């Protein structure tokens, strides 16, 4: 989860509450909130980021989780122009600056167990997560033993990144 408009930490708390209320979902763990330097578009406010582990009831599929996340974003005022998305494989398109710009809330499914999915609008594991310290550090906090579907550990993924983290402030770049 990420936010850098309005009151980012309150936005995260609101989104977390909405996830907790969603049918078929249960919050299993949540990281602390990290303040993080913007990545692709640097000239914008810093983000508040948090990773949440969600347990899904039987019958809840990855696309159901995605739709719940998108619904929460919309309800919180996020306008997501699907025309700005790349081909679904993490490849940015011409409108990358708009896509990675400021936002009230961003809820992205990162993993769904060991599933590997590549569909229009949903790629799991998230295609850019291993390049982002603001995702991997909070994920390490709540799931230190996590291994990606291809066998790579979180520690191995983090070892390839150049970043600093001090007092929950992450700088990368």
Catalytic residue among 108, 128, 130, 171: 108
Residue recorded with tokens 């998108």: 70
Is 18 a residue of the active site? Answer: no
Is 106 a residue of the active site? Answer: yes
Catalytic residue among 18, 30, 106, 132: 106
Residue 153 near residue 146 (C-beta atoms within 8 A): yes
Catalytic residue among 18, 30, 78, 132: 78
Catalytic residue among 18, 30, 103, 132: 103
How many Cβ atoms from other residues are within 10 Å of residue 91's Cβ?
10
Is 78 a residue of the active site? Answer: yes
Is 103 a residue of the active site? Answer: yes
Angle 157-54-4 from CA coordinates, rounded to 5°? 70
Query: 69, exposed or middle or buried, with CB in 10 Å at 0-12, 13-18, 19+?
Result: buried
Residues classed as catalytic:
78, 103, 106, 108
């Amino acid at each position: 989860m990420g936010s850098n408009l309005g009151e980012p930490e309150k936005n995260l708390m609101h989104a977390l509450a909405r996830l907790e209320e969603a049918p078929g979902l249960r919050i299993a763990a949540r990281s602390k909130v990290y303040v993080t330097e913007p990545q692709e578009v640097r000239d914008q406010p810093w983000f508040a980021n948090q990773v949440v582990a969600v347990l899904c009831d039987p019958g809840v599929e990855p696309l159901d989780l995605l739709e719940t996340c998108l619904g929460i974003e919309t309800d919180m005022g996020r306008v997501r122009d699907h025309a700005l998305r790349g081909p679904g494989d993490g490849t940015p398109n011409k409108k990358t600056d708009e896509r990675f710009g400021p936002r009230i809330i961003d809820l992205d499914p990162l993993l769904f167990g060991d599933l590997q999915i590549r569909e229009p609008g949903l790629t799991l594991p998230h295609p850019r997560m291993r390049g982002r310290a603001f995702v991997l550090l909070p994920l390490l906090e709540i799931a230190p033993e996590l291994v990606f579907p291809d066998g790579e550990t979180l520690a191995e993924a983090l070892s390839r990144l150049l970043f600093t983290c001090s007092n929950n402030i992450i700088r990368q770049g």
